[in-house]
Structure 1
Amino acid sequence: MKKYCIVEKGLNEQHAGSKARNDVADTLIKEGWNPLRVSPPVIKENVSYAERIRMGLVLMKDWRKVTKTVKEEDQILIQYPLEMYPKVAMLALRYIKQLKRKKVKIIILIHDIESLRTQDKKQKEWYQHAEKSFLCLADDVIAHNKKMIGYLKKIGLDTRIHALEIFDYLVEAESIQKAETKENQNAVIIAGNLSEEKAGYVYQLDQVNAEFRLYGPNLNTEAVGTGNITYKGSFPPDDLPRVLHGKFGLVWDGKSIDECGGEFGQYMQYNNPHKTSLYLASKLPVIVWEKAAIAEFIRENQLGIQVGCLREIPEKLAALTGETYDEMLQNVSAMGEKLRKGEMLRKVLREIENLE
């Protein structure tokens, strides 16, 4: 019996969009899983019909190789969703069904559930159909957390589902240096896509009496305040832990400082934002929206503080004792070491293996 994992070429962008996928693949390969490389992602808006046809042909050629390589009773792990145009990715279903008929054990690890993110009714229905079509073929599904598992069961997924709890963030610990200076003793770090569409709240931070340091692409510097905000630039995901200096990392999304709203913000009630893993792996406690799904994990492991809105940050920081913060740092240090080594994925894979 051999173990295989599907590996798709990651996007080379200055945010963590492909970091989680790459880390999963790297961890599996280190654990002895054999990589099966399939067509690189082509993610664009308004993809032409001709381009979709070309993408589809490439996908089918690659997946035919997969079905020929993987034998009866082998195992294969697939990261979902596939990194290409969603309707083209549906072509892979026929090949996954072939693997199922060959009695291959299929594990699907979820990165995103688009039906939770979109607020368009027709899109939501299409994505729910696509998600169930893929996930029902798995012997085991790895979801983010209990909230996401509840949603999947609610829409009719009847298979074993396991909670990852939090994503790993592979990085060498030696590359992380935390210099304590007056400049960063109280700074709140924000890392990620800083566009007004994705992170509109960033452009309201002048209403919050706290110091913020921003890292990431797509910041509209003309629209953001300057009194309490410092923009430090954009860095590749593997370099970020080395350059993040501050007291907390902020896990927030949406257009408002008062709540995590809109498609991106409401999604936080179900997903595990990858930036949480970035901060913890970078030895930073986190500030997280109290209604976010990840807040329970942060609270149980004492890795940070929860807020209902960003206006609460100054009061929360003022009330934080040095002793409490030091305890957080110790907890973050232990958790960060696990994330940097890929222990969360290894743990859930052992759980699946023990059920066989």
Structure 2
Amino acid sequence: MTQYYLSKNYNVLNNAGNKAKTDIEEILSKLGYKNAGLPQTTYSNKIAGFLITLAGVLKVLFTISANNVVVVQYPFKKYYSFVCNIIHLKRGKVITIIHDLGTFRSKKLTAEQEIKRLSHSDVLIVHNNRMKEWMESQGYTQPMVCLEIFDYLSPSVNNNTHEPNQKPIKVIYAGALNYRKNKYLYSLNDVMSKWQFELYGKRFEEDKIKDKTLFKFKGFVPSDQLIEQVSAHFGLIWEGDSIHTCSGDLGIYQKINNPHKASLYIRCNLPIIIWKEAALASFVAENKIGVCIDSLEELDSILSSISAESYNEMVRNIKEINKKIASGYYCKRAVENAESLLQLT
């Protein structure tokens, strides 16, 4: 059995989605997988990117043979069904790793269309049990494996100490900061007094904040640099308009999705604050690496009541998970489990 992955053109590498995909390519390469397409490129020109990716897909016709296994990362633009058909035509097998579901993220596919498309895969690697259950509820019948959490490769190391009794308690958020995307950020003034918010990203609309002393806007910082520099107590995962619950399309998506920023926070050795209804909340709770909340209104009382012993235990546990995601542990395990489910003839 020869094992392959399929690379493509990535127009930017500091995008969270592309970072996750290029990390998986690197992990697969270390596992002995070969690239079935053309070498990875980073052309920003859309036409050049389209042609290079298409040429890589067509190269699969001449690379794959019977009983070969190809890992395809999803979504793969317009090529996904086509490349799966090519692999099956050559009597190979497809393992698909899901990054995003169009039914939720882009709203460009119905659930029925997405299930039909993903049914081209022989084995599917989904984010977590919630996503697996959703796939099954929509009629998906192929074998599935759960990733649990995304790995995050980086040579950077965070050696900053986070004293639990240090005041103010610092919470960071890394991501989209504009009012339209995350309106909740601009309502936090009403419910926070015992902690300070540090924001990393672009398009923060500072003029909409009432009390600026509780906010520190750090701007966009590349992830490798962020991992080294951040000195805080927690990383927040929250989406939507409301401080009371994760709302809107992205809030609903949290119920089945593994946000890549969780892995970034872990690489920063930051315990996680996450919505109780989020799919990743069970991972946080089971591994004792953070706190799960119903509403951001709770944070003042919750953060001030965490003992030094409890916080230090979270940090110790985070450091153990950090070692795993820095080494590609979760991807390796999921791919090996997926391989064991393939029926090769």
Structure 2 length as normaliser, TM-score? 0.89
CA contact (8 A) 2:173 2:198 kept: yes
Q: Amino acid of the residue matched to residue 160 of structure 2? A: K
Q: Report the Cα distance in structure 1 between the residues aligned to 2:187 and 2:13, rounded to whole angstroms.
A: 26
CA-CA distance at 1:10 after TM superposition: 2.8
Q: What SS is found at the alignment partner of 2:223? A: coil
Equivalent position amino acid for 2:83 in 1? Y
1:178 matched to 2:160? The reply is: yes
User: Gapped runs of 5+ residues in structure 2?
Assistant: none
**1:158 corresponds to which letter in structure 2?**
T
Match of 2:70 in 1: 76
Aligned to 1:136: 119
- Label 1:92 to 1:15 Cα distance change in 2 as closer, same or farther (>3 A): closer
**What is aligned with 2:58?**
64
In the TM superposition, 1:209-224 aligns within 5 A as 209=192, 210-224=195-209
Instruction: Tell me how far apart the structure 2 counterparts of residues 42 and 142 of structure 1 sit (CA, whole Å).
Output: 28
| TM-aligned CA distance change 1:281 to 1:136, over 3 Å | same
Is 2:149 the partner of 1:169?
Answer: no
Q: Deviations over 1:184-235 (max 9, x none)?
A: 7610010112122322211222123221001112222322341210011211
Q: Which moved more, 1:215-224 or 1:20-29?
A: 215-224
Taking the TM superposition and a 5 Å limit, the aligned residue runs for 1:269-280 are 269-280=255-266
- Output one character per residue of 1:315-346: Cα deviation in whole Å (capped at 9) or x when no partner: 11122111111111111110111011110001
What is aligned with 2:38?
37
Q: How many pairs align?
A: 337
Judged with a 3 Å threshold, the aligned counterparts in structure 2 of structure 1 residues 187 and 21 are, in CA distance, closer, same or farther, namely same
Q: Distance in 1 between matches of 2:310 and 2:166?
A: 21
| Residue matched to 2:89 | 101
Using the alignment, how far apart are the partners of 2:182 and 2:81 within structure 1? 34
Q: Counterpart of 1:282 in structure 2: which amino acid?
A: C
Partner Cα distance (2:4, 2:167) in 1: 44
C-alpha deviation, 1:153, in angstroms: 1.2
Map of 2:272 onto structure 1: 286
Return closer, same or farther for 1:72/1:326 CA change in 2, 3 Å cut-off. same
Contact 1:14 1:235 in 2 (8 A): no
Offset of 1:295 from its aligned partner? 0.3
Aligned residue type for 2:187: Q
Q: In structure 2, the residue corresponding to 1:222 is in which secondary structure?
A: helix
Residues 239, 133 of structure 1: CA spacing in aligned structure 2 closer, same or farther, 3 A cutoff?
Answer: farther
Tell me if the contact between 1:215 and 1:233 (Cα under 8 Å) persists in the aligned partners. Answer: yes
Match of 2:70, as an amino acid?
Answer: I
Unaligned runs of 5+ in 1: none
How far does the alpha carbon of each residue in 1:163-204 deviate from its partner, in whole angstroms, 9 at most, with x for none?
10111111235x322144798761001011212232221122
Normalized against structure 1, the TM-score is what? 0.87
- Match status 1:158 vs 2:158: no
Structure 1 residues 233 and 59: CA distance shift in structure 2, 3 A: closer
Structure 1 81/15 Cα, relative in aligned 2: closer, same or farther at 3 Å? closer
Aligned residue among 208, 219, 223 for 1:233: 219
